[in-house]
């Protein structure tokens, strides 16, 4: 007996254009997978994919369509991991499968993942690049939120931190370079970043060039984002980064993300969980990973014009667990 599989492409407008070092986004395009067992149980998963690796709705759809005849009733996450590489297609399928199995068992996904409980988590709120006036306006509007994640590029970095300190002096600050810096630039601006109280720097250098960080004495911890895909990424990050940013679209689902978190902790890395954008359906499984993370960046729905219903609940920057009606 095969599983029913429905694929739906969706587009969710952002509240306003969102700029990072790689470009500007005005909407988040996602692929939603529904897996049904034909007996009244359905599980759902959502993926944005990994744009810098060329993933799109069309490419993820094609990957899943190729697997449709193999989606049998007893499908396991282990099989999915053997059939598909890390990425959005596997993420959407894996999260849908977790949701389906939880509904079939009458249990919550967090229980099936071995968690004792789930608690609300504090998420950072991301400020994209833009004009000084726009950046200051966005920071002022976020004064009620305790942690800001500031996007940066090769020329706009210290000014972003300065704007934040002037408009929201009490904010905890994370800076995300999205691969736009070199070691030389990092070393040049590091003293000022430290003086301004920045507590974490994400992916300063281009993925694949992490060796340039060898021997760097950095007073601020570095987090590997684009350079951390799944467990196979970890050996190359040891001694170069202190944190890893786990994203389900990168890892290819909750199953690998849980395993990555365990192995990264065992190797001494601190944990961060992030997102590639998306609705509450994408944040819900990531919330399980967030339970063990020092840094949480699950603000995707906060940046969008609307969210699906039922939505996850944000109380300021505190993100509560998903209802079973949404996922898991």
pLDDT in tens, 15-31: 988 878 788 889 999 99
Residues paired with residue 127 on neighbouring β-strands, in sequence order: 150
Over residues 177-190, mean pLDDT: 96
Q: Which domain holds residue 28?
A: 4-106
CA distance 10 to 27: 10
- Asked whether residue 199 falls in the same domain as residue 102, the answer is no
Whether the pLDDT of residue 104 is over 80: the answer is: yes
Tell me, what's the pLDDT at 23?
Answer: 80
- Asked whether residue 51 falls in the same domain as residue 197, the answer is no
Tell me, what's the pLDDT at 55?
Answer: 97
208 occurs within a structural domain:
yes
The percentage of residues in the chain with a pLDDT greater than 90, rounded to a whole number, is: 95
118-140 tens-digit pLDDT: 999 999 999 999 999 999 999 99
Question: pTM for the whole thing?
Answer: 0.96
230-257 tens-digit pLDDT: 999 999 999 999 999 999 999 999 999 9
Strands 243-246 and 172-176: unpaired
**CATH assignment at residue 257:** 3.20.20.120
Identify which of 30, 56, 25 has the alpha carbon closest to the alpha carbon of residue 303: 25
Tell me, what's the pLDDT at 1?
Answer: 80
Strands 125-127 and 121-122: unpaired
Q: Measure the CA angle with vertex 219, ends 213 and 222; round to 5°.
A: 50
Place of tokens 């944040």: 283
- Asked whether residue 130 falls in the same domain as residue 270, the answer is yes
- Asked whether residue 315 falls in the same domain as residue 246, the answer is yes
**CATH assignment at residue 12:** 3.30.390.10
Place of tokens 């210290």: 158
- Asked whether residue 131 falls in the same domain as residue 194, the answer is yes
- Asked whether residue 10 falls in the same domain as residue 141, the answer is no
114 occurs within a structural domain:
no
Tell me, what's the pLDDT at 50?
Answer: 96
Tell me, what's the pLDDT at 20?
Answer: 85
- Number of independent structural domains in the chain: 2
């Amino acid at each position: 007996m095969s599983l029913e599989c429905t694929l739906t492409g969706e587009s969710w407008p952002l509240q306003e254009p969102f700029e990072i070092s790689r470009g500007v986004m005005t909407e988040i395009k996602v692929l939603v997978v529904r897996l049904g067992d034909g007996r009244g149980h359905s599980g759902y998963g959502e993926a944005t994919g990994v744009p810098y690796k060329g993933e799109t709705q069309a490419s993820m759809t094609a990957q899943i369509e190729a697997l449709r005849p193999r989606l049998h009733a007893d499908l396991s996450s282990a099989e999915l991991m053997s059939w598909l590489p890390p990425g959005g297609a596997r993420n959407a399928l894996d999260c849908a499968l977790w949701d389906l199995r939880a509904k079939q068992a009458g249990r919550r996904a967090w229980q099936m993942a071995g968690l004792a409980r789930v608690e609300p988590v504090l998420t950072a709120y991301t400020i994209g690049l833009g004009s000084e006036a726009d950046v200051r306006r966005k920071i002022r509007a976020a004064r009620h939120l305790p942690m800001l994640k500031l996007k940066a590029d090769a020329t706009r970095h210290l000014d972003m931190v300065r704007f934040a300190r002037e408009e929201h002096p009490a904010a905890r600050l994370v800076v995300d370079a999205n691969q736009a810096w070199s070691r030389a630039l990092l070393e040049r601006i590091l003293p000022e970043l430290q003086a301004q109280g920045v507590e974490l720097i994400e992916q300063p250098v281009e993925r694949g060039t992490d060796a340039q960080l060898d021997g760097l004495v950095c007073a601020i911890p570095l987090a590997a984002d684009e350079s951390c895909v799944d467990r196979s990424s970890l050996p190359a990050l040891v001694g170069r980064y202190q944190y890893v940013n786990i994203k389900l679209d990168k890892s290819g689902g909750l199953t690998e993300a849980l395993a990555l978190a365990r192995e990264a902790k065992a190797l001494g890395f601190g944990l961060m969980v992030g997102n590639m954008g998306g609705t509450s359906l994408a944040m819900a499984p990531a919330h399980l990973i967030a339970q063990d993370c020092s840094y949480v960046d699950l603000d995707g729905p906060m940046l969008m014009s609307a969210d699906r219903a039922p939505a996850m609940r944000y109380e300021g920057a505190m993100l509560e667990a998903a209802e079973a009606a949404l996922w898991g």
